[in-house]
Amino acid sequence: MRLLSRKATCNTHGQDSSYFLGWEEYEKNPYDKVKNPNGIIQMGLAENQLSFDLLESWLAKNPDVSGFKRDGKSIFRELALFQDYHGLPLFKKALVDFMAEIRGNKVTFDPNHMVLTAGATSANETLMFCVAEEGDAFLLPTPYYPGFDRDLKWRTGVEIVPIQCTSSNNFRITESALEQAYQDARKRNLRVKGVLVTNPSNPLGTTLSRNEFDLLVDFIKDKETMHLISDEIYSGTVFSSPSFVSVMEILKEMTPNDAAKIWNRVHVVYSLSKDLGLPGFRVGAIYSENDAVVAAATKMSSFGLVSSQTQYLLAAMLSDNKFTKKYISENQKRLRRRQRMLVTGLQKAGIKCLKSNAGLFCWVDMRHLLCSNTFEAEMELWKKIVYQVGLNISPGSSCHCSEPGWFRVCFANMSQDTLNVAMKRVKNFVTDSTGAECGSSSACFTKSFSNWVFRLSSRDHRAPEER
């Protein structure tokens, strides 16, 4: 009899992908302006490090909150004991208000329809457990966040079937791609339980268009057991037009007849990890008008509750409307500036990005640098960029992109200086390598890479949690 479960011994946690392997290289040789100026610059981490000063200054002005005090009195005991999976009411109220604010107050959310979870990682998995059986499938537009392979599939037994999007129309979801995915699932004898989109998209950095929404709504409208999950974790990072449209807004705009068909099959996932840059605090949420989903997810959240200490701190912060308004706008300004820097820097190296208006990264077109239009060539190029150029970026294949040559490059997790250094390195690399590199160095890279891969796949990865 096998000692451990299949789940414990299989690879469905997906952590052998290159997405995580690049990390290891970075960890061995991390860039430091002073101590290691030739090290690898981390550009594979979708973190928002641009606005901590704003948070820190708020904390400094509100010391009582971290001190477990309310109106001068200690509430430590109350918080220490608070493990109600319905969540701290004050926090849920503050969170729904914050979410409404991000959406320009075009929609409002009811705290009673919200479930708190330890991060969006937990929220997404919990939703799968609620709406799908083992062996069911969800359709996801590619490219998508590599972590979904673990979060949606691993312990739930749910399958992901890709909706293949291509550069020919800027990776927008098309009706034919949706249909194709649906047929692919049917061919594999999989029952499709719905579609999961990330809006704004990771790794594209674009927001869903109204046309895409129409397609999605049409797709699930008459299929009565199908759900639409919208992971809106990057909703607060929209820094330029077109403005963000949440799926909840789409619902609101629908005719009552149409809305009635789908309102209880649409669910939103959110988190404070990207907008506020607080991934360590583990704050995620599921929002749904479907009472049964909320009820089940609430009980399941027992397996991943948010620390009451953290709920209290953030309740106070997010209730400060003056602060949140200022924060949202200033944060977006800084993100926009940084994205411009990256786009311009890459432009100078003759590299184009997908036009984007959100996120903490750009979707970068390096097809013209490939030796051949293949994923092997993409891997070769990626290795060069990691080892030669010294930038850890994410290859499109790790995001299940159907076309080789695209890379996700993050811009909000390092200082401006570091970004400048990275851009200089890219420019030098492109200027130096005029195509003569193809084939000659790839052999030695393949050798070192395969040893490295072999080493890595046989032991635990120190990969941090991130998107």
Partner 1 sequence: MLSRKASKDSHGQDSSYFQGWQEYEKNSYHPIQNPMGIIQMGLAENQLSFDLLESWLRRNSNTMALKKDGVSAFKDLALFQDYHGLPAFKEALVNFMTSMRGNKIKYSSDKLVLTAGATAANEILMFCLTDPGQAFILPTPYYPGFDRDLKWRTGAEIIPMHCSSSNGFRITRCALEQAYQLGQELNLKIKGVLVTNPSNPLGTTMTKTELNHLLDFAIDKNIHIVSDEIYSGTVFDSSSTTSFTSIMEVLNERNNNNYNNIRNHVHMVYSLSKDLGLPGFRVGMIYSNNEKVIAAATKMSSFALVSSQTQFLLSNLLSDAKFIKKYMVENQRRLKRRKDMLVRGLRKAGISCLRSNAGLFCWVDMRHLLSSDSFEAEKELWKRIVCEVGLNISPGSSCHCSQPGWFRICFANISEDALHLAMHRMKAFTNSIFSVRLPIIMMRKKSF
Q: Map the footprint of partner 1 across residues 93-132, applying CB under 8 A.
A: 118-119, 121-122, 125, 129-132
Does 458 participate in binding partner 1 (rule CB under 8 A)? Answer: no
Report the half-sphere exposure of 396 (CA within 13 A, side-chain side).
30
Can you tell me the distance from the alpha carbon of 425 to that of 411, in angstroms, rounded to the nearest whole number? 15
Residue 37 or 76 having the CB closest to partner 1: 76
Alpha helices in 117-228 (DSSP H): 119-131, 148-151, 175-187, 210-221
**Stretch near partner 1 under the rule CB under 8 A, chosen from 100-108, 168-176, 345-353, 455-463:** 455-463
Q: Please name the amino acid found at residue 383.
A: K
Coil, strand, or helix at residue 29?
A: coil
Residue 309 or 441 having the CB closest to partner 1: 309
Residue 306 or 351 having the CB closest to partner 1: 306
Can you tell me the distance from the alpha carbon of 374 to that of 380, in angstroms, rounded to the nearest whole number? 10
Q: Are 139 and 163 in contact (CB under 8 A)?
A: yes
Residue 155 or 336 having the CB closest to partner 1: 155
**In the window 187-246, what residues touch partner 1 (CB under 8 A)?**
224-225, 227
Smallest gap, in angstroms, from Cβ of residue 69 to partner 1? Answer: 9
Q: Is 110 a catalytic residue?
A: no
The active-site residue out of 153, 193, 274, 383 is: 274
Q: Strand 266-271 to strand 352-353: parallel, antiparallel, or no bridges (unpaired)? A: unpaired
Closest by CA to 279, choosing from 46, 85, 31, is 46
**In the window 248-277, what residues touch partner 1 (CB under 8 A)?**
265, 273, 277
352 forms beta bridges with: 365
Cα distances from 276 to residues 172, 232, 233, in angstroms, run: 28, 14, 11
Joined together, the tokens standing for residue 428 give 């030098």
Neighbours of 117 (CB within 10 A): 30
Smallest gap, in angstroms, from Cβ of residue 459 to partner 1? Answer: 8
Residue 106 or 155 having the CB closest to partner 1: 155
Report angle CA 156, 160, 166 to the nearest 5 degrees: 155
Contact track, partner 1, 292-331, x by CB under 8 A? xx--xx-xx-xxxxxxxxx--x------------------
Q: Is 53 a catalytic residue?
A: no
Q: Are 369 and 430 in contact (CB under 8 A)?
A: yes
Backbone torsions φ then ψ of 403, nearest 5 degrees? -115, 135
Smallest gap, in angstroms, from Cβ of residue 440 to partner 1? Answer: 38
Closest by CA to 92, choosing from 64, 120, 65, 113, is 113
Report the half-sphere exposure of 262 (CA within 13 A, side-chain side).
28
The active-site residue out of 31, 144, 145, 287 is: 145
Residue 207 or 298 having the CB closest to partner 1: 298
Residues near partner 1 (CB under 8 A), total: 76
Smallest gap, in angstroms, from Cβ of residue 118 to partner 1? Answer: 5
Q: Is 233 a catalytic residue?
A: yes
Smallest gap, in angstroms, from Cβ of residue 164 to partner 1? Answer: 27
**In the window 13-32, what residues touch partner 1 (CB under 8 A)?**
13, 15
**In the window 59-98, what residues touch partner 1 (CB under 8 A)?**
59, 63, 66-68, 74, 76-77, 79-83
Q: Which of 148, 239, 281, 323 binds partner 1 (CB under 8 A)?
A: 281
Q: Please name the amino acid found at residue 277.
A: G
Q: Are 362 and 342 in contact (CB under 8 A)?
A: yes
Contact track, partner 1, 32-51, x by CB under 8 A? ---------------x-x--
Residue 240 or 307 having the CB closest to partner 1: 307
**Stretch near partner 1 under the rule CB under 8 A, chosen from 5-13, 244-252, 418-426, 429-437:** 5-13
Work out the angle between the directed axes of helices 291-300 and 119-131 (0-180°, nearest 10): 120
The active-site residue out of 97, 231, 275, 365 is: 231
Q: Which residues of 372-409 are buried (b: 16+ CB within 10 A; e: fewer)?
A: eeebebbbbbbbbbbbbbbbbbbbbbbbbbbbbbbbbb
Can you tell me the distance from the alpha carbon of 239 to that of 361, in angstroms, rounded to the nearest whole number? 12
Cβ burial, residue 44 (10 Å; 0-12/13-18/19+): buried
Smallest gap, in angstroms, from Cβ of residue 428 to partner 1? Answer: 30
Smallest gap, in angstroms, from Cβ of residue 29 to partner 1? Answer: 18
Residue 123 or 245 having the CB closest to partner 1: 123
Residue 52 or 243 having the CB closest to partner 1: 52
**In the window 373-402, what residues touch partner 1 (CB under 8 A)?**
none
Contact track, partner 1, 131-170, x by CB under 8 A? xxxx---------------xx--xx---------------
Smallest gap, in angstroms, from Cβ of residue 110 to partner 1? Answer: 20
Smallest gap, in angstroms, from Cβ of residue 462 to partner 1? Answer: 7
Residue 106 has what DSSP assignment? S
Strands (E), 80-141: 114-117, 137-141
Catalytically annotated residues? 145, 231, 233, 274
